[in-house]
Structure 1
């Protein structure tokens, strides 16, 4: 067959295969165009999951009648005009491919009225064949109708799924848009019935409420607000889910770069590392993150559907996201913001009178006595003396039971986790605070406290190297060997001594002392893999933390240990002062709050 140019219609249908995968792709392109046009309200009407009809109406700037044929021409756009514009593109669309691709595989109609125009105009296209532009009544803005998607491409139409499935894909994308642009009102209807109405949100509380509407009330009740700006004008904001609200799948992970919803491995890796110390293996955090940076530092012209981007300095971005989220999670302490989000008590609820206890804090009324045994950490710490400095290896003596102080008359004056009142089944500590009842898993809580102390103590010493008796020859790729030379100082700081022995070989002369029993070959390969892909690594720190976590688990107070009230209160105060104390080392929650209203409800009080 000789070489020959393809017909324009066939070119458009081939291009549509890249841009238009299913009805959700059409909705995405049309709604993004509406957002770029400055719309403040967008209505989306669907029939049969978008297969029969997609109608998108907006109140944006509109299109002049004489520009309608150009709007559906390939590579015609008002958003860029030069290479400089492409490198700094700030709009969601810019390729000029969406409308002609959609019009080539559907019965298409474009009706618009530009600001200042006396009336609107309409352009109809049937399978790529355009009709003349005619006057048509229309309010300011644009309406686009897409009927019978893929009616002229039977092979593509057969790949469409059931109506419910296609509608689900559309709703998922509209949910993403509702999160990305909370300032835009969004109405959705399917088969003549309203299904969604996202009202415009202007302040932070309204934006969080809109996020909770999109993702479910559980997200809004179990998330931390994030807002951080770096010295080089990187800004990260949004919300991250608390570890206790983790999910079995990554279905609630939304990243927006300069307002564009994207998937990025670098950012995803940074988020996973930030959560590594507080989540079960196999669990996934929920988050809605907005990353803002100079458009010239990110390339959005990577994927036809614009799902992916490429960053100019991925390593710096990775470190910025990781540090920001790690600090936010680290600041979450038991009893404080982020440690746990208790349900609000009913108005005027007061804690009932009863015995309270305190760990030598100097408050109010006498408490009942309990015979006790010292916290197990006192017995275990000598085993970790090498990791603790001389000032942190010993704890201050716990107060004697006879010296128990008094609790305040006003429960509102109690600390966040309140005062211990009893121990249940030798496992749980019961405490009373201003909200109601607090239940603490004493082993899980003490495990986190011990773990954080071990980490802090070991961090003060730095990472020592352990020379290998026989140096280990390591076969690697040339890229990994280059990375070992490039990051030699960073590897030395991690306790590794790697020297290049050839184009594709390294010699391992020393490994981190605390990981002396680990497989040095696999550990070195894992570290080099991280350096090649992300420019940094936390493999050593993660392996070290896993060891310290095990030590903390074995060194923490065990079940069926009878604690005195002062010891219980000492544990509560330590929880309030310890980072990440809302979860144990394995990601389990350490405490829960039962409000006075919940307790009343258990006994049907007030009904």
Structure 2
């Protein structure tokens, strides 16, 4: 019975499968469906529309480009330029798939010198929006106006306009509601558009850029004679810490190198350009971080703008739908050139070493940042409210006898059972970390008012999410107010934070917030992030080797709740027993 039932079920399944197999037929998809599928690869979000239209303007030889958008680009995007424009016939062809003026044969893919070359952008954008194109070529005395609604050409007519092109995109993804539903908030989409325009403006200082959001001009940058001038106009104060370089070997490299005194917690401000095209490339990014490895602390990243100019035959840009990733023919040569260029530039700038601070400063039974130690009086209008000191009950009897330094950060002790190797930097971090945690555990966090407020200028992509967390920072001892655009005014800092490190600390917090590593709904998580990061920054304060400093540091460590590991979980000290020493020496 069971065998017959199983056999019958199998035969029924086979009959159903055969029916489905023979009934289903291969069909050629309609052009509208094809365009919408293609749009899913080319137009992922509003910033992709801005990028494609901006690249077309630059390929057209424009010397001025104006970009306007509203509601994060979801409702309206306009890109207008004074480039060469198109004739009536060319404008109609531009809306056809794979119609382009930039390549003619397959061999042209080996020497691409323009941003666009596939002929996919305009038809893809027009298929998922209300699309308006106005253009005029120098060859015609009249302009052309085309209006497309969700891929259907509704109107074509002549119009009056100057030479150039004006494209307006409204109601993006109007006929693809699923895609529109998955877009991020207006603030997030806006930040991506601003970052995109800034990147292309940096790559083309000879072109004037204007960016308008909801009728308000975000920035207007005329043509600039140098790359540094463009950075100064758009990035502001960071320009004063950049050094220009120019290097030629197997390829031509130029750009701006950040001084070792400035660094970031992410690679976000390492911007790469290949023949003026913004790209992402792990080989180049790794080469830059390697060049900086002896100049900035571990897990920190430089600020760098690298331009690579190379024969188009030596690189393949047709490996990614968004053309952001590229493949070099000889990546090892490019990497070597980048490391040489950055290494020579960093050597020439002779960065000053970090100031050396005696470790005993951090271990005195005083409030977190004693005024006489850090000279905070010059920064404050009101005295710091004292934090109750953590009782160390020094000295305690460790039965450790100091022998001497092992290297720049380690000390050697003779303990009751053998030799002890002690990492002074990790010990400093643990002590500082637990003191900050103790401060957060109280009802209030003491603050220090600054005589000269700090001006914190964030990247456009970081500012919106940071602005949402200002109330939480207020609870943590900060006083921060928006100061227009992407700038914030900082009037007060927690007493445990040195004002000289305040701007950098807050910039890092803004990056953590943007990455989702800072959850203020769970205060203990946010406190943990802030305390750990503040403690890790003590690595840059240096350490003075002396028997007194080493002993006091070890004694203070023993009063911590967890004296065995640093905030990153690495061991602070270990003991090599006398029996193990005897065994290794054959005694």
SS of 2:158 mapped into structure 1: strand
Q: CA deviation at 1:252?
A: 1.0
Counting only pairs closer than 5 Å after superposition, residues 4-153 of structure 1 correspond to structure 2 as: 4-153=27-176
Equivalent residue number for residue 156 of structure 1: 179
Equivalent residue number for residue 279 of structure 2: 262
Output the CA distance in 2 between the equivalents of 1:138 and 1:43: 15
Of 281, 305, 309, which aligns to 2:298?
281
* Gap regions ≥5 residues in structure 2: 1-23, 356-403, 409-538, 550-587
Equivalent residue number for residue 216 of structure 1: 236
Q: CA deviation at 1:322?
A: 0.9
What's the CA shift string for 1:534-592, capped at 9, x where partnerless? xxxxxxxxxxxxxxxx9xx99x876999xxxxxxxxxxxxxxxxxxxxxxxxxxxxxxx
Of 175, 178, 181, which aligns to 2:198?
175
SS of 2:297 mapped into structure 1: coil
Q: CA deviation at 1:225?
A: 1.4
What is the aligned-residue RMSD (CA, Å)? 2.6
Q: Bigger relative contact order, structure 1 or 2, given CA contacts below 8 A and separation 6+?
A: 1
Output the CA distance in 2 between the equivalents of 1:193 and 1:104: 29
Output the CA distance in 1 between the equivalents of 2:168 and 2:294: 50
Q: Does the alignment pair 1:192 with 2:212?
A: no
Output the CA distance in 2 between the equivalents of 1:55 and 1:318: 39
Equivalent residue number for residue 245 of structure 2: 226
SS of 2:289 mapped into structure 1: helix
Output the CA distance in 1 between the equivalents of 2:74 and 2:252: 39
**Residues 108, 146 of structure 1: 8 Å contact kept:** yes
Output the CA distance in 1 between the equivalents of 2:547 and 2:322: 55
Counting only pairs closer than 5 Å after superposition, residues 344-493 of structure 1 correspond to structure 2 as: none
Mark the CA change 1:331 to 1:126 in structure 2 (over 3 Å): closer, same or farther. Answer: same
Across the two proteins, how many residue pairs are aligned to each other? 347
Output the CA distance in 2 between the equivalents of 1:29 and 1:225: 29
Output the CA distance in 2 between the equivalents of 1:137 and 1:248: 51
Give TM-score scaled by structure 2 length.
Answer: 0.56
Output the CA distance in 2 between the equivalents of 1:177 and 1:34: 11
Mark the CA change 1:98 to 1:339 in structure 2 (over 3 Å): closer, same or farther. Answer: farther
**Residues 271, 278 of structure 2: 8 Å contact kept:** yes
Q: CA deviation at 1:162?
A: 1.6
Q: CA deviation at 1:83?
A: 2.1
**Residues 135, 166 of structure 2: 8 Å contact kept:** yes
Q: Does the alignment pair 1:308 with 2:325?
A: yes
**Residues 88, 143 of structure 2: 8 Å contact kept:** yes
Mark the CA change 1:52 to 1:126 in structure 2 (over 3 Å): closer, same or farther. Answer: same
**Residues 252, 286 of structure 1: 8 Å contact kept:** yes
Q: CA deviation at 1:133?
A: 2.2
Counting only pairs closer than 5 Å after superposition, residues 561-572 of structure 1 correspond to structure 2 as: none
**Residues 123, 132 of structure 1: 8 Å contact kept:** yes
Q: CA deviation at 1:116?
A: 3.1
Of 240, 243, 246, which aligns to 2:257?
240
Q: CA deviation at 1:22?
A: 0.7
**Residues 40, 185 of structure 1: 8 Å contact kept:** yes
What's the CA shift string for 1:275-303, capped at 9, x where partnerless? 11111111111111100010100001010
Mark the CA change 1:80 to 1:334 in structure 2 (over 3 Å): closer, same or farther. Answer: closer
What's the CA shift string for 1:371-404, capped at 9, x where partnerless? xxxxxxxxx99x99xxxxxxxxxxxxxxxxxxxx
* Gap regions ≥5 residues in structure 1: 341-379, 385-549, 562-607
Equivalent residue number for residue 481 of structure 2: none
**Residues 111, 143 of structure 1: 8 Å contact kept:** yes
Give TM-score scaled by structure 1 length.
Answer: 0.55
Q: CA deviation at 1:262?
A: 0.2
**Residues 145, 159 of structure 2: 8 Å contact kept:** yes
